[in-house]
Structure 1
Amino acid sequence: MCGIAGVFNLDPTQSIDPQLLVNMAAIQHHRGPDGFGYRRIESKGIGFSHARLSIIDLNEQRARQPFMNSDEQLMLTHNGEFYDYARIRADLVAQGARFQSKSDSEIVLHLYQRQGMQAMLEQLRGEFAFALYDNKEDTLHLVRDRFGIKPLYYTQTQDEVVFGSELKVLFAHPKVKRQFSSAGLYHQLIQVMVPGSTAFADVHQVKPGHVVSFKRQNGQWQITDNRYWDVNFPRAEEHQNDADEQLYIQGVREKLLEAVQLRLTADVPVGCYLSGGIDSCAILGLSSAASQQPIKAFTIGFDSDDYDETPIAKEMAEATQADHHIMSLSGDELYSHFERTLWHTERTIYNTLGVAKYLMSQQVNDVNYKVVMTGEGSDELFAGYPSFRNDLFLYGMDEVDADERAKWQSMLQKTNKLFKGAMLSRNECRNEALESLVGFTPSCLQPWLACGEFADGLVAEQHKTALADYDAGKAIADTFDNDMLAGRHPLDKAQYVWIKTMLEGQILTWGGDRVDMANSMEARPAFLDHHLAEFAFNIPPHLRIKDNKEKYVLREAMKGLLPETLYKREKFAFMAPPAHTDEKKWQAMKQLADKYLSDEALAQSGLLDPQAVADLFALHDAPDTDDALKVQLDAVINHMIGVQVLHQQFVATDVPQQAAQLAQHYGWRADDAHQGAQI
């Protein structure tokens, strides 16, 4: 895993400052502290840079990126891992390819040259984001993996395309504008983002499973955005509802084991994150079975019995003879690291779980581990979240009578009461655009769309004017592909929407890559192996949730690995305790609020309305405000502080100067010794 960056000039005669490329690498030093490289094709006005985290091929000189092939027709900078690369490499060698490194990244140059973009992408397996320049076509391709595990951002100035693994990489370029868009600000306040967007004006993400290409033609950019893969559930009538469930149970077991085995491949040790859930316990169990050595397991514990999962994690660690590392956190210390966490997430977070994961990756780094496997993606594939059951009970169980559905819904609300206001909405919130496209407003979006009642008043006057006719639900719905929703079962639709919004915009960003790579730690979510995912999409809905038991097929597939208490346990959302549940944590949050939500701070940023901010705190403190509303307001308060922190870090701060200072601090200078490898 690494950090990538680059600049592509509209005018090919315009040279690119090599130190600027190095500065763009230096500001993401945390993503790749093991070395840097840069490369330019001066006659083409293009340059790439790379900050390296050494995991495959530890030889720094041989594997230094960016890579360029011998005739300078292709240039590559890559972040991520390609699994099964050894087999692909061997096949290419048999065809006459000659490899200069042991890096998995090099297969891109050989595959693209022989097969072209689409055929190459069909073979790539893993989590990745890369930039590939084709000199012959004079085209820059920006490519992102199927689920968006690895980030990739881009923007255009008047003269060039600028891209990078993080927003701060783009902002290190002095010509890139740094300001909130009105819609971006609004979506930061309600948690859920429009796929492909960011908080900042004219700054975009490459969508998961997409290739964005920039071709120079007659002094203009010709831009294409092509999707090469999508979440594709069968149509409702195509599900094999009468198939033997053992076929799915065995298939999940085999494909998950294969995904885990591939992700144990590294030239450094591989550990596991371990919570008290089925997902991470299954990953640890399979990793332990497939490894000759005890696996290092890392667990986050909280000082609240309601949210702490360490007892089950300990039981699983003992059963697998794992080397178990537990990090126990108190509520107040989470806010002590809130600002630094946001510098890495580059978006607001509704819950301090993101801070906890940032601190955990720090401890992983401290014990000299660079790689861990995680359980992310399981709930998305096997219908683990309470919102999925809610949608199934409401829209997908015609064969069950209304009384039975109502009973199950009541049980769901009771067992998930801690998360009401966050994972489940306090009240029904419907959106016309989503109703029209999906057939209902998915429960996963309702708690965040409901925050609109506060966000509408919180934004400052200039943004209120810009947002007068804005419909957040419609903006999100407009990014969905109707062909992937039409005729699908309601549970499939609910999972599709979550994968397109909450998985990519939350789980894999401020709960994944951004807080992991903040401490130079690569996370490998085995469940998001696309071979496993495509199999899981075909599991009939009644086997994903059976007899009110979520993730039924996965439970049965992993039954022999799991402690009995975990096998029988209902899904428990992994969250840090909200601020209002602990007085010390509340006071720690208030200290940040005093700093960032003062009238002076609000006047300087021009983002939020001071009176609306004061009114929201008053509502939170009112004696008749119930716990579910407080959970929701805690999230909004985190978002309010968050947008102010982001403004200070990326708008008020001179980011290009900061990048130059970091390059000087690390001793990263543009010189011949650090040009990327010739392949």
Structure 2
Amino acid sequence: MVEKRSGCRRFFIEKGIGLGHRRLSIIDLDTGDQPMFSNDGNIVLVYNGEIYNFPEIRADLEKEGVHFATHSDTEVVIEGYKYYGIKDLLDKAEGMFAFALYDRKNEKVFIARDKFGEKPLYYFQDEEKFVFASELKAIEHIIPHKKINLTALNLFLSLSYIPAPYTIYEGVYKLEAGHFFEISLGGVIEKYRYYNLSHKLKEWEPYKSFEDACGHLETLLTESVQKRMIADVPVGSFLSGGIDSSIITCLMAKVSGQKVKTFSIGFRQKDYDESKRAEIIARHIDADHSVEYLDYHDVVDHIDEILHHFDEPFGDSSAIPSFYVAKVAAEKVKVVLTGDCADELFAGYDKYLGSYYSKKYNILPRFIKKWISKTVNSLPYNQYTNSILRRVKKVIQNSETDHFEMHYRYMCMGFNEKERNKLVNSSFFEDIRPIIHKIYHSFDEKTDMEKGFYTDLNLVLEGDMLVKVDRMCMKNSLEARVPFLDSKIVEAAYTMPLHYKLKGRNKKYILKKTFENLLPKKTLKFRKKGFGTPVDYWFNNELKEDLDTLLSTETLKKQQIFNIEYIDDLVKAHRAGKQSNKSKLWNLYVFQKWYFKNNMSDSS
């Protein structure tokens, strides 16, 4: 039975199976509705996302005599499954997706997620049912007794996000990237991994030269941008002015030969404003550029709405400007391309440089290290030296530990292990190090730095960056596409030696050299900023009362999760200017907002 409700909502129900879908139409607007059936009615599919290489897969199938009734990539998934089977189809599919496919003849359901986790998929199972959805809020009401998953809580407090397979709720999980479920109607449920980067890299030959790698990267990224511009609706780009979004935007102009619609935001307060950088690129390619200037005071009004859309605690405060740039873009386009993922692939973060220098520092003679350490410790802290001294001290401290421990410290943007032990009451504490350690060492045939890149690809990218962009865009009925996350580009990047990516203090070196003639020269020297947010300002002004209430002794006593004295010390030290605890306090603020919004005090 198929039931159609308002808008693009449709449902399929049969033999204890229910599939539902609400569509944001991007390709084949008229005939791509779901659930979609195969011509013989044997296959039923609900599908969220896009297969970018569906024209090639479709052409291959047509050569084999397969006929198509629509121009939709959804039908390509159905016919691809019928011809290739689930595993080979997923191997071939290049895109972002989560889908459920019901094979009525063989009485099996396949539930799959894309290779890198661009699209979400949550699930809950007990002895009676298996429930899945693309949003956590869609299934949380069926949880018998909502309880906090302690592993997820500890991951969030340290990392500022909750990576797969965990969610904040006990018993509810995220399907990991590159995995699928095979569920038989008889009740047997099997989970398989279909994409393994470590295994894929064995198929690649090392690059013969730096120039060879540059040429290949240019070809791959140009093709990736072309594929991701395919749509039956207007397409634009997020343009921050940073190197990554600038390259993507300039390639869009080059391959399309048309004006690109670009979108940026800026803050009226200059400390966090990057709009001038974006305007340089927009003028360079004569883009149709839209920029909206925000005020610290105005933004606060939407924070609750933004946090609520993640369905669980999410502590990356750059979600706030991401929401606004998506809101601006959604007024003119339905699809945007972004510059995400380049940092994880081409060593774009300061922590990679820090790791690199820590290793270099470690091989210095002992007397030189002793002199450097003594000099650094004797220098006074002030507004000019604070940032530099903090980085140098971190390099020195990290040189004394192994690389995993160093990388783990960099990953803990919130509370580190010792701090978390003081923060939460003993019954709530869990050691998360083994989780990260396992991912780090699943790439053991590579160098320490490459293990760090791989860990970030699996945790930071999937759990933070992609979540932020997807949720904030979906909130505004906008689809975000990530050209750097093409599997061929990812595999190529991991085949390149480290010195292609880091040259002295120059991060993402190969990316800059490959596309240096595409961009204005001065943009290549811009220092990475990213989406900054004035959390400090808010906690001392508009959010001060809210923070004080959420972290009050009375509130914390009722919860019995956190150490009251430790939190009190954090707040006092921050407000006295003794130390910056904004990331820690933001994580606590976000968690408390989620906790009370979802009435978790009633579930405890």
The TM-score normalised by the length of structure 1 is: 0.79
CA distance in 2, matches of 1:252, 1:428: 36
CA distance in 2, matches of 1:324, 1:420: 39
Conservation of the 8 A alpha-carbon contact between 1:148 and 1:209 = yes
Shift of 1:585: 5.7
Matched, 1:54 2:8: no
The alignment-based identity, stated in percent, is 28
Alignment of 1:161-560 (within 5 A): 161-172=130-141, 174-175=142-143, 177-190=145-158, 191-217=160-186, 220-230=187-197, 240=206, 243-365=208-330, 367-395=331-359, 428=397, 439-442=404-407, 445-448=410-413, 450-459=415-424, 461=425, 464-467=426-429, 470-478=430-438, 480=439, 482=441, 484-510=442-468, 512-560=469-517
CA distance in 1, matches of 2:389, 2:13: 52
Alignment correspondent of 1:141: 110
Matched, 1:131 2:95: no
Letter in 2 for 1:530: S
Alpha carbons of structure 1 residues 396 and 265: separation in structure 2 relative to 1, 3 Å: farther
Secondary structure of the residue aligned to 2:583 is: helix
Letter in 2 for 1:337: H
Shift of 1:107: 0.9
Over the aligned positions, Cα root-mean-square deviation in angstroms equals 3.5
Conservation of the 8 A alpha-carbon contact between 2:27 and 2:232 = yes
Alignment correspondent of 1:575: 531
Letter in 2 for 1:492: E
Alignment correspondent of 1:662: none
CA distance in 1, matches of 2:388, 2:546: 24
CA distance in 1, matches of 2:508, 2:334: 30
Alignment correspondent of 1:36: 9
Conservation of the 8 A alpha-carbon contact between 1:544 and 1:550 = yes
Shift of 1:65: 0.7
CA distance in 2, matches of 1:317, 1:515: 23
Conservation of the 8 A alpha-carbon contact between 2:355 and 2:395 = no
Letter in 2 for 1:487: E
Tell me the alpha carbon deviations over residues 147-183 of structure 1, each in whole angstroms, 9 at most, x when there is no partner.
Answer: 11111111113411111111101124x3454331122
Tell me the alpha carbon deviations over residues 374-400 of structure 1, each in whole angstroms, 9 at most, x when there is no partner.
Answer: 000111111111111222233489999
Stretches of structure 2 lacking an aligned partner (at least 5 in a row) = none
Conservation of the 8 A alpha-carbon contact between 2:147 and 2:170 = yes
Alignment correspondent of 2:588: 640
Alpha carbons of structure 1 residues 558 and 419: separation in structure 2 relative to 1, 3 Å: farther
Letter in 2 for 1:347: E
Alpha carbons of structure 1 residues 206 and 444: separation in structure 2 relative to 1, 3 Å: farther
Letter in 2 for 1:64: D
CA distance in 2, matches of 1:163, 1:605: 30
Alignment correspondent of 1:669: none
Letter in 1 for 2:584: V
Alpha carbons of structure 1 residues 505 and 351: separation in structure 2 relative to 1, 3 Å: closer
Alignment correspondent of 1:660: none
Secondary structure of the residue aligned to 1:345 is: coil
Letter in 1 for 2:124: T
Tell me the alpha carbon deviations over residues 176-217 of structure 1, each in whole angstroms, 9 at most, x when there is no partner.
Answer: 543311222222222154542111111111111111333344
Stretches of structure 1 lacking an aligned partner (at least 5 in a row) = 1-15, 27-33, 656-679
CA distance in 2, matches of 1:418, 1:303: 24
Conservation of the 8 A alpha-carbon contact between 2:547 and 2:589 = yes
Shift of 1:266: 0.4
Alpha carbons of structure 1 residues 636 and 109: separation in structure 2 relative to 1, 3 Å: same
Conservation of the 8 A alpha-carbon contact between 2:10 and 2:21 = yes
> Taking CA–CA contacts closer than 8 Å with sequence separation of 6 or more, which of the two structures ends up with the larger relative contact order?
1
CA distance in 2, matches of 1:337, 1:426: 38
Equivalent of residue 55 in structure 2, options 53, 73, 86 = 86
Alignment correspondent of 2:571: 617
Alpha carbons of structure 1 residues 301 and 123: separation in structure 2 relative to 1, 3 Å: same
Alpha carbons of structure 1 residues 378 and 318: separation in structure 2 relative to 1, 3 Å: same
Letter in 1 for 2:437: A
Letter in 2 for 1:57: D
Question: Which has the larger displacement, 391-400 or 253-262?
Answer: 391-400
CA distance in 2, matches of 1:415, 1:488: 39
Secondary structure of the residue aligned to 1:535 is: helix
Alignment correspondent of 1:564: 521
Letter in 2 for 1:616: L
Conservation of the 8 A alpha-carbon contact between 2:417 and 2:431 = no
CA distance in 2, matches of 1:136, 1:397: 63
CA distance in 2, matches of 1:192, 1:607: 18
CA distance in 1, matches of 2:129, 2:595: 25
Alpha carbons of structure 1 residues 153 and 429: separation in structure 2 relative to 1, 3 Å: farther
Alpha carbons of structure 1 residues 394 and 216: separation in structure 2 relative to 1, 3 Å: farther
Alpha carbons of structure 1 residues 574 and 481: separation in structure 2 relative to 1, 3 Å: closer
Alpha carbons of structure 1 residues 397 and 608: separation in structure 2 relative to 1, 3 Å: closer
Alignment of 1:647-658 (within 5 A): 647-651=595-599
Conservation of the 8 A alpha-carbon contact between 2:123 and 2:131 = yes
Equivalent of residue 587 in structure 1, options 528, 534, 541 = 541
CA distance in 1, matches of 2:516, 2:199: 28
Conservation of the 8 A alpha-carbon contact between 1:36 and 1:51 = yes
Conservation of the 8 A alpha-carbon contact between 1:149 and 1:513 = yes
Alpha carbons of structure 1 residues 450 and 132: separation in structure 2 relative to 1, 3 Å: same
Alignment of 1:10-29 (within 5 A): none
Conservation of the 8 A alpha-carbon contact between 1:130 and 1:144 = yes
Conservation of the 8 A alpha-carbon contact between 2:157 and 2:415 = no
Conservation of the 8 A alpha-carbon contact between 2:415 and 2:584 = no
Shift of 1:613: 3.0
Tell me the alpha carbon deviations over residues 584-614 of structure 1, each in whole angstroms, 9 at most, x when there is no partner.
Answer: 5631221331453345544565544444433
Secondary structure of the residue aligned to 2:116 is: coil
Secondary structure of the residue aligned to 1:441 is: helix
Conservation of the 8 A alpha-carbon contact between 2:113 and 2:176 = yes
Conservation of the 8 A alpha-carbon contact between 1:211 and 1:228 = no
Shift of 1:653: 11
Alpha carbons of structure 1 residues 63 and 444: separation in structure 2 relative to 1, 3 Å: farther
Letter in 2 for 1:575: F
CA distance in 2, matches of 1:294, 1:337: 32
Shift of 1:429: 7.4
Alpha carbons of structure 1 residues 562 and 417: separation in structure 2 relative to 1, 3 Å: farther
Tell me the alpha carbon deviations over residues 435-456 of structure 1, each in whole angstroms, 9 at most, x when there is no partner.
Answer: 5xx7543167444375333333
Alignment correspondent of 2:120: 151
